[in-house]
Amino acid sequence: MKRAFMFILLAIVLSGNAVAQVAGKWVGEQAGPGPRESVVLEIKVNGSNVTGTYAMGTNTPVPIANTKINGSKITFTTGQDIRGNRIEQAWNGELKGDELILTRMIQLNGRGYRGRGYDVPVKLTRAK
């Protein structure tokens, strides 16, 4: 019984550590339909609540939602309305030290979208 309790306690501590590791400011560049643009991802952790924003280029930062962290893996969504179109992105990422590699699936007005440059992974590094 003691071993089971210690195992559960260790699992909780390690999962909390993974959440803490992804918190902070991440910067990089992202390909899109035009030239590469700068990206800033800010992740905030308050207990088990994970929030943040994603900004590309000079665009207004959009909130991240539905964030889940499992070990070195992170998933979240972003959404915004642009010129009457609803664009939702489902992000999947993997943390490797001070590097976060993200891929995305895009929905444009509820339909899958495969535009030029959107299938290129986004490589972010932890801001110092």
Whichever domain contains 61, its CATH number is: 2.40.128.30
CA distance readout (Å), 14 to 18, 20, 67, 76, 105: 6, 10, 18, 20, 29
Q: Which amino acid is at 115?
A: G
Return the sign of the alpha-carbon dihedral for residues 98, 117, 65, 51: positive
- Residue 19: pLDDT over 80: no
DSSP type of residue 60: P
pLDDT (mean) for 20-34: 85
Locate 119 and state its tokens: 């299938």
- Across 63-86, b (16+ Cβ under 10 Å) vs e yields ebeebebeeeebebbbeeeeeeee
| pLDDT at residue 59 greater than cutoff 90 | no
Instruction: Please say if the pLDDT value at position 8 is more than 70.
Output: no
How far apart are alpha carbons 88 and 78 in whole angstroms?
Answer: 6
How much is the pTM? 0.77
Q: How many domains does the chain have?
A: 1
Domain range for 44: 2-126
pLDDT for 1 equals 52
